[in-house]
Amino acid sequence: MKKVMIVFGTRPEGIKMAPVIKELKRFPEKFEVKVCSTGQHREMLDQVLDFFGIVCDYNLDVMSPNQSLSDVTCKILKGIDEIFTVWHPDMVLVQGDTTTVMAASLAAFYHKIEVGHVEAGLRTGNIYSPWPEEMNRLLTTRLSMIHFAPTAGARDNLLREGIEETAIHITGNTVIDALFDAEKILDADLKQTASLKKKFSFLSDDKRLILVTGHRRENFGDGFQQICHAIAKIAVREDVQIVYPVHMNPNVRMPIHDILGQCANVNLIEPQDYPSFLYLMRKSYLILTDSGGVQEEAPSLGKPVVLMRDTTERPEAVKAGTVILTGADCAKIVSVVTCLLDDKSFYEKMAKANNPYGDGKASWRIRQILS
């Protein structure tokens, strides 16, 4: 029996690892699975775990106000180190590119525990964009023995960096597994669906919904001001309504509320749990984001994505035509959104493009590889 510890700390990691946890736990004769949450984004992560029915065996609860990335890294290293003295797994599975991923991988390396990296091989080529995620990915690659690449492009990135081909496996992205699971849960729960409809009863069926998310560190300052001014210009239109779940980070909240707080057609709401956010994605006409995961989820729902970043580690979506890069540039954002709203053929081309991120069976493939 293989002892596997799955470590995550943020909501996107929790979403993407939920189907992996469920798949491995379906085979208790093969895997002893323990789940560790670092609590890097505790409140938002807990909502996801509740929705998917995931129970953590260990909670590090590392988050506190105004701490630096160094503080977070040190707490995670120390916390996981202490767990390993009590329970020593054969493998640690991590997902993505957060500080949790990098620190957990380093802690495992110090104990000579094999690391498996889910969503391996994503690259922008710029260590400061996204920051610190790009460097977290590079470091985690060097600390990992098995690389679960979501796409052929991600595999090629790893090969160029000298990773052995036999250590790389193309699986698709587990976020599609999670999305399909979540849709089944919501569609089967009529009470929750009715509750969500009531929660968002302020939405008008006569207006097209633009869903906005934004929280990346590299957009702090002028970037968020540019994004907010673009949203304000788009909101002047009478045929749209904008919903923006605002991240809890004060560097995000302050410029958004200062610029958009009094804008008609703009609904600034609190961060949403996963089922609520999925409901909004399904209702939306298009999505403005600087998020990584939304680039992968939205194409499966037929929603064009305007990506407010200068670079992306997910070029497959841009190549497939489901995502357009604008950067945090007010004029570019307004121009692309206007085209999507006014040019039906342009919109349809993006909405109907094929999702390059898989078929919802990534978790099954990961389990097969680990068996």
Query: For this structure, is 217 an active site residue?
Result: yes
Query: 215, 216, 309, 365: which is the annotated catalytic residue?
Result: 215
What letter represents residue 112's amino acid? K
Query: For this structure, is 367 an active site residue?
Result: no
Assign 3-class secondary structure to 190-226.
Answer: HHHHHHHHHHCCCCCCCCEEEEEECCCHHHCCHHHHH
Query: For this structure, is 133 an active site residue?
Result: yes
Q: How far apart are CA 316 and CA 336, in angstroms?
A: 19
Helix axes 274-283, 174-188, angle to 10 degrees: 90
Query: For this structure, is 119 an active site residue?
Result: yes
Q: Kindly list the distances between the CA atom of residue 55 and the CA atoms of 4, 36, 109, 137, in Å, as whole numbers in the listed order.
A: 15, 9, 25, 27
Contact between 212 and 285 (Cβ < 8 Å): no
Query: 217, 309, 314, 367: which is the annotated catalytic residue?
Result: 217
What does the buried/exposed string (b/e) look like for 207-235 if buried means 16 or more CB atoms within 10 Å of the residue's CB?
ebbbbbbbbbbbbeeebbbbbbbbbbbbb
Query: 13, 133, 181, 273: which is the annotated catalytic residue?
Result: 133
How does strand 266-269 pair with strand 286-289? unpaired
Query: 23, 46, 119, 134: which is the annotated catalytic residue?
Result: 119
Bridge partner residues of 117 (DSSP) = 94, 147
Query: 13, 46, 97, 296: which is the annotated catalytic residue?
Result: 97
Cα Rg of the chain (Å, integer):
20
Q: How far apart are CA 44 and CA 368, in angstroms?
A: 30
Alpha carbon distance, N-terminus to C-terminus of the chain = 9
Query: 247, 309, 314, 367: which is the annotated catalytic residue?
Result: 247
Query: For this structure, is 117 an active site residue?
Result: no
Query: For this structure, is 97 an active site residue?
Result: yes
Question: What residues are labeled active site?
Answer: 97, 119, 133, 215, 217, 247
